[in-house]
Amino acid sequence: MADERIWTAALVVIGDEILSGRTQDKNIAQLAAWLNVQGIRLAEVRVVPDRQDAIVEAVNVLRARNDYLFTTGGIGPTHDDITVDAIAAALGLPVVHHPDAMATLEAYYASRGGLTEARARMARVPDGASLIPNRVSGAPGIRIGNIFVMAGVPHITAGMLDALTGTLEGGRPVVSGTIGCWVAESEVADLLRDAERTHAGVAIGSYPFFRDGRTGANFVVRSPDQALVDRCLADLTRDLEADGRVVVAGGI
């Protein structure tokens, strides 16, 4: 168990619109949840501007130390879409027009005014790449080595992840269980620490909140081992109740 192989992924979110505060990112949470199901852990995220040197640095560091690297954003047809060039530069590869992507875009735009030069930009890939189907709009995602280049618009990204489901090697999915308690987390800090130590292999997160004028916290137990999660939650519940606390299974 201790030697179980852990698969990790990193995400580079590419976009001035996230760093300017204009757009609230939704791809971090979406990718994280999807990766959990694939048995892959999201280990690190970087948000970088639409600037080639920033993208190259993040991509090269993170692809080397993770099993998989995902990027979101910057694969559209306009001047601020520089992801493909940056990834190609990071890998030292030329950029080519992928014939299947050209065919897909030609079909997609046949009834939409035709495939212009700007639109054909969306068929550009680092040489040797394969495509990730885009079931929502015309432009496909791109796979090159362990890098997966996806859209920035969350529902298009969702479609690409759907197309990738079950195709990536991973380990056992991380499962989690939650209990809630109307308590200030500071009152049960020792109890939580002890529970994590006693149940080797779990991680316990404590997430306080203030609601309806009362202080509470949810405690989330995570591990790839469902039986271990269940045992830890049961012990934690017993200890909290022995302490006179009211525990809500599933969280508050």
- The answer to whether 48 contacts a copy of itself (rule: CB under 8 A) is yes
Alpha helices in 92-178, H assignment, sequence order: 99-109, 117-120, 154-164
Given candidates 6, 39, 77, 93, which one binds a copy of itself under the rule CB under 8 A?
Answer: 77
Tokens in use for 233? 């939650």
Given candidates 123, 150, 164, 220, which one binds a copy of itself under the rule CB under 8 A?
Answer: 220
- The answer to whether 60 contacts a copy of itself (rule: CB under 8 A) is no
CB–CB of 131/98 below 8 Å?
Answer: yes
CB of 33 or CB of 128, closer to a copy of itself: 33
- The answer to whether 41 contacts a copy of itself (rule: CB under 8 A) is yes
Residue identified by tokens 């995902």 is 70
Range 114-118, long-range pairs (CB < 8 A, 24+ positions): 118/77, 118/78
Single-letter code of the amino acid located at 54: A
Half-sphere exposure of 39 (CA within 13 A, CB side): 13
CB–CB of 173/33 below 8 Å?
Answer: no
Cα–Cα dist 183/251, whole Å: 12
- The answer to whether 228 contacts a copy of itself (rule: CB under 8 A) is no
Cα–Cα dist 204/223, whole Å: 9
Site string for a copy of itself, 88-127 (x = CB under 8 A): ------------------------xx--x-xx-xx-----
CB atoms within 10 A of CB 149: 28
Piece in contact with a copy of itself (CB under 8 A), picked from 82-90, 159-167, 190-198, 227-235: 190-198
CB–CB of 31/149 below 8 Å?
Answer: no
CB of 20 or CB of 167, closer to a copy of itself: 20
Given candidates 6, 163, 184, 228, which one binds a copy of itself under the rule CB under 8 A?
Answer: 184
Can you spell out the DSSP letters for 213-230? TEEEEEEEEEES-HHHHH
- The answer to whether 145 contacts a copy of itself (rule: CB under 8 A) is no
CB of 143 or CB of 219, closer to a copy of itself: 219
Cα–Cα dist 31/247, whole Å: 31
CB of 50 or CB of 67, closer to a copy of itself: 50
Piece in contact with a copy of itself (CB under 8 A), picked from 23-31, 124-132, 160-168, 227-235: 23-31
Could you give the 3-state DSSP secondary structure of residue 192? helix
CB of 87 or CB of 195, closer to a copy of itself: 195
In whole angstroms, the minimum distance from the beta carbon of 209 to a copy of itself comes to 8
Given candidates 158, 161, 174, 236, which one binds a copy of itself under the rule CB under 8 A?
Answer: 174
Q: What residues make contact with a copy of itself under the rule CB under 8 A?
A: 13, 16-26, 28-33, 35-36, 41-50, 54, 76-80, 112-113, 116, 118-119, 121-122, 137, 153, 174, 176, 184-187, 189-190, 192-193, 196, 203-210, 220, 222
